[in-house]
Structure 1
Amino acid sequence: MVNFVLVAGVWLGSWAWDEVVPELRAAGHGAHAVTLSGLAERQGMAAGQQTHVQDIVDEVERLGLRDVVLVGHSYAGIPVGQAAERIGDRLARVVFVDSNVAADGESFLDGWPDGRAMVEGSISENDGFWAPRPASDYAGQDLDAEQVARIVTGSTPHPGATLTEPAVLARPLGELPATYVKCLLDGPEPSPAVAELLTGERWRLVEMDTGHWPMFSRPRELARILLTEAGS
């Protein structure tokens, strides 16, 4: 038995994994979805990037989990990558789902220069938060109208400091046992940073023919991939 700890990207809470968690538990494993500070039911809590790292570490330690597979989607790949090295021998594997990856001393926005001005503008206009996207921005991502409505209705503003503060890594991310899940409708190739990590012996690539939110568009397929990568 392994313990999956699942963290969704910007604007989303633990609810984003509602169709994935039952699949993992039905296979006999633990599955624990985390809501990061400042989001969903934890709105109003002050949060920087290191707060989000600690949220993940605290969940692992609070539940006394071992054989942990950390799963980070989108933005959450950055705090998940940092948390992975901090939980030590509790870690079994990291799975990055179409995610950003942490680089020591760099922020989320440093890794997304094309979107920096747009995000900073939203943070400035929304009292320090990145406002959620409208339904039209989810077109072409293998999502039906009901799935888009779930995402849009459930999304909450994302704490801006988590996007602008730098990551802190004690050792290279390539030393972690990791899988990168590339969602092809969000771009056919991994980012240069991810491509470099995939050249290492401890990282491997899995592709999904879907968009950037596979926990909504293809939850069963994503669950099967997670189980395979965990060695089930």
Structure 2
Amino acid sequence: MTQFVLVTGAWLGAWAWSDVVPHLRAAGHEVHPLVLSRGADEQGVAVGRQTQAQDIVDEVERLDLREAVLVGHSRAGIPVGRAAERIGDRLARVVFVDSDLPADGASFVSGRSDGRAAVEGVIAAHGGLWPPLTAADRAGQGLGEGQVARIAEGSTPPPGATLTEPATLTRPLGMLPATYVRCLLETPEPSPDVAQPLTGERWRTATIGTGHGPVFSRPRELARVLLDAAGTEG
């Protein structure tokens, strides 16, 4: 039995996995959608990536999980990647779902096309928080109107420090046993930061023909991809 630990991206909480979880449990596995303490489910607390990565490590240890598969969607790829290297022999695999990846000394905003200063300006204008996307921003991602409304209703702004705090890694990311899932409407080709770890012998790749929110648009297919990545039968 695999122990899945699910961590969602910016603005979303553990609730976002509610359509994926039943498929994983029906296949006989334990599932732990994680709320990052003082993170995306809570507002107004100045925490950074170090705190969020430690949240993941603490949960794995608190539950005494073995053969854990960490899953990080979108922005959560950075704290998940950092946590994965700390978990040691408790980790079976890490799955990055159309996510950002941690790079030593770099932050989420380091590679942003709109620039660090612009992002920091938006954060400062919103009291230290990063405001959620609008419905228009989610166009072309394979989501229905009801799904977009559900996302908007459940979104909360994460602390800005989770975007600007640099990551620290003790070993190359390519050494992790990992699967990277590309959502083809969003990332038809791997970005440069993803392409480098994919050259590692322990990395695999998978694709889903949808936009950036497969937890909503393709939950059953995403569950199958997670089961396959974990080497289980679904």
CA offsets 1:142-198 (integer angstroms, 9 cap, x no match): 000010011111000111001100111111100000000000111311110111111
One-letter amino acid of the counterpart of residue 32, structure 1: H
The 2-side partners of 1:39 and 1:49 are apart by 10
Partner of 2:168, secondary structure, is: coil
The 2-side partners of 1:81 and 1:26 are apart by 27
- Paired position in structure 1 for 2:112: 112
Alpha carbons 1:69, 1:93 under 8 Å: kept: yes
Higher mean displacement: 5-14 or 191-200 = 191-200
- In proportion to residue count, which structure has more helix? 1
- Paired position in structure 2 for 1:68: 68
One-letter amino acid of the counterpart of residue 217, structure 1: S
The 2-side partners of 1:194 and 1:146 are apart by 31
The 2-side partners of 1:147 and 1:134 are apart by 13
- Paired position in structure 2 for 1:83: 83
The 2-side partners of 1:216 and 1:224 are apart by 14
The 2-side partners of 1:142 and 1:118 are apart by 28
- Paired position in structure 2 for 1:222: 222
The 1-side partners of 2:114 and 2:202 are apart by 30
The 2-side partners of 1:29 and 1:167 are apart by 31
- Paired position in structure 2 for 1:126: 126
- Paired position in structure 1 for 2:94: 94
Partner of 2:156, secondary structure, is: coil
Partner of 1:129, secondary structure, is: coil
Aligned residues: 232
Higher mean displacement: 154-163 or 112-121 = 112-121
Alpha carbons 1:98, 1:180 under 8 Å: kept: yes
Partner of 1:37, secondary structure, is: coil
Alpha carbons 2:44, 2:129 under 8 Å: kept: no
In the TM superposition, 1:6-21 aligns within 5 A as 6-21=6-21
Alpha carbons 1:16, 1:216 under 8 Å: kept: yes
CA offsets 1:94-117 (integer angstroms, 9 cap, x no match): 000000000111111113243534
Partner of 1:204, secondary structure, is: strand
Task: Give how far 1:46 is off.
Answer: 3.6
The 2-side partners of 1:23 and 1:45 are apart by 34
Alpha carbons 1:24, 1:227 under 8 Å: kept: yes
CA offsets 1:48-92 (integer angstroms, 9 cap, x no match): 110100111111111111100000011100000010011110000
One-letter amino acid of the counterpart of residue 190, structure 1: P
The 2-side partners of 1:117 and 1:202 are apart by 36
One-letter amino acid of the counterpart of residue 196, structure 2: E
- Paired position in structure 1 for 2:25: 25
One-letter amino acid of the counterpart of residue 73, structure 1: H
Unpaired runs of 5+ residues, structure 1, are none
The 1-side partners of 2:48 and 2:136 are apart by 29
One-letter amino acid of the counterpart of residue 61, structure 1: E
Correspondence 1:213 to 2:213: yes
Partner of 1:35, secondary structure, is: coil
Query: Per the alignment, do residues 147 and 115 of structure 1 end up closer, same or farther by CA in structure 2, a change over 3 Å counting?
Result: farther
Alpha carbons 2:143, 2:217 under 8 Å: kept: yes
Unpaired runs of 5+ residues, structure 2, are none
Task: Give how far 1:204 is off.
Answer: 1.0
In the TM superposition, 1:38-77 aligns within 5 A as 38-39=38-39, 41-77=41-77
The 2-side partners of 1:205 and 1:40 are apart by 27
